[in-house]
Amino acid sequence: MTRTLLVVMDSVGIGGAPDAEAFGDAGSNTVGHILDARGATGLNVPNLSGMGLYKALAHSSNNAWTDAVPRTGAIWAVGRETGKGKDTPSGHWEITGLPVTTPPHVFEALDDSFPPELLDAMITKGSLPGILGNKHASGVPIMRDLGEEHMRSGKPIVYTSADSVLQIAAHEDSFGLDRLYDLCRIAREICDAYRVGRIIARPFVGNTAEDFKRTGNRRDFTMPPHADTILDTLTAAGRQVLAMGKIGDIYAGRGISEIRKTHGNMALFDLTLEAMDDLQEGGLLFANFVDFDTEFGHARDPLGYAQALEDFDARLPELFSKMAPDDLLIITADHGNDPTWSGTDHTREQVPILIKSNTLAPAALGIRPFADIGATISDYLGVPGTPHGTSILPLLGEKQ
């Protein structure tokens, strides 16, 4: 059975991007600095390291971090984004064969971030008494700072970041979850004219700042890809594309057969294992594990991030055991989010490309553009690719 599993560990970067300085991120390294934060304890990730994580880290970082235990038998590479973003859609789109050469609009002003006419349109079309926020902020602090006022006034909390994003936080009960989604749809329509990458619904619950908590009902309303990705070519060929987690949102539903969602990395792992039973011959299962980014990268929590990596790694043998003989597994990331870095935004980094196959021989593949992942998947599944990327399959021999 020939199937492909594409797993994105959201934000698990390995430093070394040659243009990191242009993004203010020179020296950032998500995995490397997590290792530093752990000190002598290190990271207990035998499955990821067995797939070549530390080899990719050392190659990307000029051996600043290496694995103390020599390992063989891996197929690994270092992924380098060629597009002009460090956000989730640009990383994912390029992985699937569509580099973003013209980045979406970013609201750069730290305060009074949004144009008055944009907010006026939201207030009028959304029948709102006004808005709170209107600045760059991290989601949890601004929720705690303005959440009580939001509940009293009925004004949603609207904020942005260094990404192309407009985020709306609102209380699930006092404001209403469906009303929040409707407001995000209104904002999506308004923001199309500004070329904003994502509108994100950030619902929360609780009664006071001390117990406010974001829920698992986040939704992303993404600007659709500007051209075809391999998801489009697969579904056009009648192939199955199972989108796990936030993948459906990232592609605005394009090129997807079925979306399956849940909240939390471990719950998503369970759902992914179940989906493998339903993945058809010639199909793609595409999963995004977002907690690394949202719960620990943006929160600047290196020790929590380390634990999340170990928890994820401990589940990988379950995934391996469910792989059919001809299945191809690719584990990668979309950008960095160094939890030791200043600020709360993503970091421009290279990423690991870790491949598991029961039929392909071990290989070190050096630095590859993100789009090579999509080209490799198209080649493996026997469908047309996009104009971007080169398959690595010709570089790989068969296992002896």
Give 123-168 pLDDT, tens digit per residue: 999 999 999 999 999 888 999 999 999 999 999 999 999 889 999 9
* Contacting residues for 116 by C-beta, under 8 A, at least 6 apart: none
Which of 40-44, 229-233, 332-336 shows the lowest per-residue confidence on average (mean pLDDT)? 40-44
Four-residue CA torsion sign, 169, 135, 246, 344: negative
The CA angle 38-74-296, to the nearest 5 degrees, is: 30
pLDDT tier for residue 235 given thresholds of 50, 70 and 90: very high
Query: Which residue shows structure tokens 């296992």?
Result: 399
Percentage of the chain modeled with pLDDT above 90: 88
For domain 116-222, give the CATH number: 3.30.70.1250
In this prediction, residue 1 carries a pLDDT of 57
Q: What is the pTM of this model?
A: 0.87
What does the pLDDT look like over 17-49, one tens digit per residue?
A: 999 999 999 999 999 999 999 998 899 999 999
In this prediction, residue 162 carries a pLDDT of 84
In this prediction, residue 71 carries a pLDDT of 74
Q: Where are the beta strands (DSSP E) in 4-162?
A: 4-9, 75-80, 132-136, 157-160
Helix (H, G, I), strand (E, B) or coil at 398: strand
* Homologous superfamily of 4-101+225-395: Alkaline Phosphatase, subunit A (3.40.720.10)
Residue intervals in the chain for CATH 3.30.70.1250: 116-222
What's the one-letter identity of residue 240? Q
Q: What is the mean pLDDT of the chain?
A: 95
Residue 225 has pLDDT above 70, yes or no: yes
What backbone phi and psi angles, to 5 degrees, belong to 122?
-65, -45
What does the pLDDT look like over 90-118, one tens digit per residue?
A: 999 999 999 998 888 999 999 999 999 99
Residue intervals in the chain for CATH 3.40.720.10: 4-101+225-395
